[in-house]
A = this chain, B = another copy of it.
Amino acid sequence: MTYQELEALKTVKDLRSAIRAGEFAGHTAGLAPGKLQCNIAILPADHALDFLRFCLRNPKPCPIVGIGETGDPALPTLGPDIDIRHDLPRYRLYRDGHFESEVTDIAHHWRDDMVTVALGCSFTFERALMAADIPMRHVQQNRTVPMYRTALPLEPGGVFGGTMVVSMRPLPQQDVARAVEISARYPLAHGAPVHLGDPAAIGIADIDRPEWGEAVSVAPDEVPVFWACGVTSQNALLAAAIPLVITHAPGHMLISDINEDAEHPIWKP
């Protein structure tokens, strides 16, 4: 199934069914417009309390929007029929802090001590910005948004800590204030930017060399605008070198039934 065929599917349920059936394993940007998409981290229960601590203390990069029961692949507060073992287009497995493989289904890796945590995602505020005629350079250039390690310290939580990862979008000066105001409306999707302007001020040595994603051009009259990024949590999970972590592959998110402008991410029948 192509992205275009998937895009034509009407409901979130149809979309997740196609992904679950293995008919689509591409990125989810732009699919199910208006529905909250989620970063996913699946980890052993032994580390789940610490990971929640870490996320709760760092709500800009790690806004918790859902959590599963131990050993249960459902996420009933995010949608009626979610099975996290199949419902992401693509997953990454890490053992002891090292990348092991990228797969399209994790049924064979699921264990009865696994806990799923869902975090908000930048697709939400990007869609709101584009709807307000604020263009996204990486979308225009068909690239993955550039992401950078920073010197911004995180609040530690148990074994998790480190510094924040940010994504960058260059904006014309006249759009910056509006972009701040609009993105601030989505605290479950990283909210307002964490920094505007000089990359060096937050410890980014070279704006043209992102650590994840791809560089995009910044025009002389544009301001680089930095938002807290969900990769922060993946980074912290890897640095802690816990035995097994499964995440979404970048850009291959969980599509939930939650409306992006919901007051709280709690699905009701």
| A interface with B by C-beta (< 8 Å) | 45, 48-49, 52-53, 56-60, 64, 66-67, 69-70, 76-77, 115, 155, 157-158, 187, 191-192, 263-264, 266
Please name 11 further chain A to chain B contacts, defined as beta carbons within 8 Å, in addition to the given A59-B266, A60-B264, sorted by A numbering.
A45-B49, A48-B49, A49-B49, A49-B52, A56-B67, A57-B77, A58-B266, A59-B264, A69-B157, A76-B155, A192-B263
Q: In the complex, which residues of chain B have a beta carbon less than 8 angstroms from the beta carbon of A52?
A: 49, 52, 56, 67
A57 to B191, CA, bound (A): 20
Q: How far is the CB of A246 from chain B (nearest CB, A)?
A: 18
Q: How far is the CA of A52 from the CA of B69 in the complex (A)?
A: 11
In the bound complex, CA of A64 to CA of B52 (Å):
11
Q: Contact: A64 with B56, CB < 8 Å?
A: yes
List chain B residues, Cβ under 8 A from A53.
67, 69
Looking at A45, A66, A69, A115, which has the most chain B CB atoms within 10 Å of its CB? A69
**Neighbouring B residues of A264 by C-beta, 8 Å:** 59-60
Residues of B within 8 A of A49 (CB): 45, 48-49, 52, 70, 115
- Most central of A66, A67, A115 by chain B CB within 10 Å: A67
Report the separation of the CA atoms of residues A246 and B157 in the bound assembly, to the nearest whole angstrom.
22
Question: Which residues on the B side are within 8 Å of A66 (C-beta)?
Answer: 56
CB distance from A225 to the nearest CB of B (A): 17
* Interface pair A266/B69, CB less than 8 Å apart: no
**Chain B residues, Cβ within 8 Å of A48:** 49
Least distance between A114 CB and chain B CB atoms (Å): 13
Nearest-neighbour CB distance to chain B for A266, whole angstroms, equals 6
A155-B266 contact given A48-B49, A56-B64, A77-B57, CB 8 Å threshold: yes
On chain B, the residues within 8 Å of A192 by CB distance are: 263
Known: A52-B49, A77-B155. A266 touches B57 (CB 8 A): yes
With A48-B49, A70-B49 already in contact, the answer to whether A263 and B191 are too (CB < 8 A) is yes
